[in-house]
Amino acid sequence: MTSSDDLYAVLQRIRPVHELSAEAVAVGLAGTEVSVPLRAVLERVHTTGPQTVPAIARSLYVTRQGVQTLVDRAKELGLVEARPNPEHRRSHLISLTEEGQRQFTELHGAELERLAGLAEELDPADVEACVRVLDHLVNGLEEMKSTERALP
């Protein structure tokens, strides 16, 4: 059985991974008009299809207002468009334009190329286990934030 100290050691490594990955992504975005946060919005819409701004915000664990600002910028750049939402008259669905799809696919492909060297050094079973652990943490922490079990 894993101890809470062992699990906390995983949590301690998440911030450096998050910060360093954001910096590495920023290097790949140099020379484009896409920022790291805007790239995250594009990825979310690319991965899950058209979504409302509140849905994107929830999935990224950020504010709706912050996502709205990013979506507005993406619209200016011609990367996303708002479509009517059959389920809600005022909350439009945000989808990638053809240009947005092209740019995200190109950026993401370059990111995967840069990660290839790191991937070669890892056992696929270890990566699968890491994904399972991180998924468990996300789900457990989501539950904690809405219950009495919240971390201090």
State pLDDT tens for residues 102-135: 999 999 999 999 999 999 999 999 999 999 999 9
Q: Residue 77: which residues within 8 A CB-CB, separation 6 or more?
A: 33, 34
Does residue 140 have a pLDDT over 80?
Answer: yes
Displacement of CA 41 from its chain's centroid (Å): 7
- Choosing among 3.40.640.10, 3.60.20.10, 3.40.50.10810, 1.10.10.10, the CATH entry for 4-121 is 1.10.10.10
Mean pLDDT over residues 2-7, rounded?
Answer: 90
Does residue 151 have a pLDDT over 70?
Answer: no
Does residue 7 have a pLDDT over 60?
Answer: yes
Q: Using DSSP bridges, classify how beta strands 88-96 and 80-85 pair: parallel, antiparallel or unpaired.
A: antiparallel
Domain ranges of the chain: 4-121
Residue-averaged pLDDT of the chain: 94
pLDDT at residue number 146: 80
Q: Residue 19: which residues within 8 A CB-CB, separation 6 or more?
A: none
Q: Model pTM?
A: 0.88
Burial annotation 30-60 (CB, 10 A radius, 16+ → b, else e): eeeebeebbbbbbbbbeeeebbbbebbbebb
pLDDT at residue number 61: 94
Query: Please, what is the angle between helix 53-60 and helix 64-76, to 10°?
Result: 120
Displacement of CA 99 from its chain's centroid (Å): 20
- Terminal Cα-to-Cα distance of the chain (whole angstroms): 23
